[in-house]
Amino acid sequence: MTRQSAFNKQSTAAEVVAELDLSGKTVLITGATSGLGLESARVLASRGAHILATGRTLAKVSAACSQVGTATTPLELELENHDSVRACADVVRKLGAPIDILLCNAGIMALPKLEQIRGIEKQFFVNHLSHFLLVNLLLEQVKRAPQGRVVVVGSSSAYKWAPPAGVEFDNLSGERDYTPNKSYGQSKTANGLFSLELASRLAGSGATSNSINPGPVDTNLSRHYPGWQRKVLGLIAGFFLKPVGVGASTQCYVATSPALEKTSGQYFENCNAVVPGGQMTNKTLAGKLWEKSTELVASHLS
Ligand SMILES: NC(=O)c1ccc[n+]([C@@H]2O[C@H](COP(=O)([O-])OP(=O)(O)OC[C@H]3O[C@@H](n4cnc5c(N)ncnc54)[C@H](OP(=O)(O)O)[C@@H]3O)[C@@H](O)[C@H]2O)c1
């Protein structure tokens, strides 16, 4: 286990990177138009990193980039569509720069009704499968960085909402039964397992993979909650939700800390490695998920 860091649940992302010079580093962030992704882009750019910022439309991500600064390249990436994932990866490959940090951050939560993309439940598709595809398409560029890092944003307790099996391979369509939180939990468990298996596959390459839990943060993630739930959340947010500047600290820490150069396959909360529960450390399941995911994205991988 990695040793205790100097940061904790009150640390801000800006504090975490305050001593660092990130000039010359290239950071790709998915979901850079809102919440934790936008804050991470802002903070990492403030230390000199060049941000490849992705958003669902070029107009939206260009607007976000104008808030971040000039060291940004806006890129269109719609995670509901694997043609878009492939096209985005092709642009990044053409840009050619090694990727020092690939921050898989974009996500959706608790869709009220079952929605599917190509027969797969949408949260699993967007949160896990599309990031699986994107990372695999860009992995050689991550490996070319002096110490490339993949950081996967998982979830707070959402893996506890997942089905007991962690990932139900016989119900990836969601058709057997669907509940918004259970499917979100499954997708976030998949995020953690993907990072775990990737760490094994990167062993010896110098590149690392870790996943993180930002904790409960005041962002737009609850947009799909029913109106009354959002109202309640709005009223009590100040009491238990972290402001976004604090919420982004763990992903910025794991993305940049010099102390973590050799740390891989770990899960972080409040800027420290912890051992998650549920199926999050199940290596057999992680391997099985990798095989299934490869099969599901095969047409876009080659
Ligand atoms: N906030 C929390 O309490 C919390 C807790 C645990 C984990 N997380 C995780 O943190 C990550 C960031 O979420 P957030 O809290 O910052 O929420 P957010 O403010 O809603 O930001 C989510 C980002 O993901 C993007 N996104 C959503 N669907 C997409 C798609 N199909 N294609 C491309 N981009 C898409 C959004 O773009 P649009 O705005 O254009 O849709 C937005 O930029 C998520 O993975 C979430 O699961 C958050």
Distance 40 CA to ligand 1 centre (A): 12
Average pLDDT over residues 269-289: 95
Please report the domains of the chain, with CATH numbers, ordered by start residue.
13-296 (3.40.50.720)
Distance 35 CA to ligand 1 centre (A): 7
Cα separation, 253 vs 1, in Å, equals 16
- Ligand 1 probe mutation, 108, 116, 254, 270, most atoms within 8 A of CB: 108
Q: What residues are annotated to the active site?
A: 178
Task: Tell how strand 72-76 and strand 116-117 pair up.
Answer: unpaired
Distance 91 CA to ligand 1 centre (A): 22
Q: Whose CA is nearest to atom 46 of ligand 1?
A: 107
Residue 202 has what pLDDT? 98
Atom of ligand 1 nearest to the CA of 79: 32
Arithmetic mean of pLDDT over the chain:
94
Q: Using an 8 Å Cβ cutoff, are 254 and 104 in contact? A: no
Token readout for 175 is 């058709």
Residues within a 6 A CB radius of ligand 1: 31, 33-37, 55-56, 60, 77-80, 105-109, 126, 153, 155-156, 214, 216-217, 219-221
Distance 221 CA to ligand 1 centre (A): 6
Closest CA to 267 of 221, 187, 209, 181: 209
66: confidence class by pLDDT, cuts 50, 70, 90: very high
What percent of the chain clears pLDDT 90, i.e. is strictly above it? 86
pTM score of the predicted model: 0.97
pLDDT in tens, 104-152: 999 999 899 999 999 999 999 999 999 999 999 999 999 999 999 999 9
Say whether pLDDT at 192 is over 70: yes
Cα separation, 98 vs 32, in Å, equals 19
Q: How far is CA 272 from CA 210, 257, 263, 266, in A?
A: 12, 11, 12, 10
Atom of ligand 1 nearest to the CA of 60: 40
Task: Tell how strand 120-121 and strand 267-269 pair up.
Answer: unpaired
**Terminal C-alpha separation, the chain:** 36
Cα separation, 133 vs 12, in Å, equals 31
Atom of ligand 1 nearest to the CA of 78: 32
Cα separation, 174 vs 182, in Å, equals 10
Average pLDDT over residues 5-31: 97
203-147-2 Cα angle (round to 5)? 65
Residue 156 has what pLDDT? 64
Token readout for 145 is 């960085």
Cα separation, 248 vs 272, in Å, equals 13
pLDDT in tens, 250-278: 999 999 999 999 999 999 999 999 999 98
**E strands within the chain?**
26-29, 50-55, 72-76, 101-104, 116-117, 120-121, 149-153, 208-213, 267-269, 272-274
Q: Which residues face 177 on adjacent strands?
A: none
